[in-house]
Structure 1
């Protein structure tokens, strides 16, 4: 595995900025980076001076290109997959529980775990060449938790999520904006100004109203969410998942056997 990367937190006035910093790996998340993200969310949740939180990737080529797949080589059973998905869900719950509005500033690839992070944010702005997807049916042969699937359906709608998960399609910025997932598209040289403008507008609105509105929307999403641990255990315990990991690390096409 290459270096573990870092997730930085900076606060300037009412705006907090969280940066995923591992550009040589398109900001793919390591376990250490997920832990840092959790700590930052826990810290910000109690900071009443922060009125908006923005998330961005370093390097300009990616927001977050998923979880570092090399880490999955240590998985030996479906139980490892269940524990991993619970860990990801817990991180997303902390992000979603931030009482202030959140903005994902996307440049380039926003894939897998990166899509989960961006989808958990309240708003997304992107550059014209940004790409959104969960190509696990083509690359890794794993699956998503029920909470993650529900979040994607709420953000994209079921037909597009079927394309993302079953066809391993990648959705471009224009389509993402057309379906309401992306709020605004800005050129790379203009996206920082667009992010500052959006964050400034959010920071000037009523924080209690924003907080209770976020919680109301979250409760709608959580209502009667079914369990899917058996599906996760089956997928991560499969021979296909182990083949997907080894094929990705070995830079060769996977050979799926349906086992």
Structure 2
């Protein structure tokens, strides 16, 4: 499949039972376009069905960002129903990552924001460089919202108090705090993250795969138990004047003027 100009790419490489998935759009901090999301789903489906793959690492191109969310330009002219469909698409993609039968590692450099945070949180382990920042600053930028599944995943990874800071205060969590709370397994010096990710994947690849698969599935079932239906809240948010204002303000590089409607 040829990559459309400016639309970015998601690359898959396989070597000795270790898969590497790379988000490649460094000119936009690896912000994901619709074609990149589609390619990510294809990659995850391929990995899911490949019994020879024993571990997967996810990474961004360049040192500036892992993934800085979804490309905001794609939100222009969104309606409330478009928002519901978008959140369903995100949930399906994140669900594919989380349900991969083999262990997964996110190698995070720089910004890990919005959809990037969801991807990293769906992985089993995260390693990061000292400059890594984690957040969902939508209360400051776009004025949109997350699905119940996405919020549940963040709460499982960070705990409710930190997720309240992420969503209500639009705080960013630095790598030291992320490491202290267990979200980041290891802080890796600049320039060493590829080697560290390979080493961790190598450790995972020699362990009992059935035990890993069953353990992952058990954890996923615990997370999914009794998730509420929040599509009415998603429809309300993406259909709001504030969301339209947030998108236009972001693209115009000006502060948004929230009206509460």
TM-score (norm 2): 0.98
Q: Which of 15, 21, 35 is the equivalent residue of 1:12?
A: 15
Where does the alignment leave 5 or more consecutive residues of structure 1 unmatched?
none
Query: CA separation in 1, counterparts of 2:62 and 2:199?
Result: 21
Partner of 1:84: 86
Indicate yes or no: 2:134 matched with 1:141: no
Where does the alignment leave 5 or more consecutive residues of structure 2 unmatched?
none
- CA deviations on 1:16-52 (whole Å, 9 max, x unpaired) are 0000000000000000000000000000001010000
Query: CA separation in 2, counterparts of 1:189 and 1:169?
Result: 27
- CA deviations on 1:41-91 (whole Å, 9 max, x unpaired) are 00000101000000000011100000000000031x210000000000010
Partner of 2:62: 59
Partner of 1:42: 45
Q: Which of 187, 202, 205 is the equivalent residue of 1:203?
A: 205
Partner SS state of residue 74, structure 1: coil
Query: CA separation in 2, counterparts of 1:218 and 1:84?
Result: 22
- CA deviations on 1:123-145 (whole Å, 9 max, x unpaired) are 00000110000000000000000
Give 4+ residue runs of structure 1 displaced > 2 Å after superposition: none
Where do 1:1-259 residues align within 5 Å? 3-75=6-78, 77-259=79-261
RMSD: 1.0
The Cα shift of 1:253 comes to 0.5
Partner SS state of residue 104, structure 1: strand
| Pairs aligned (count) | 258
Partner SS state of residue 117, structure 2: helix
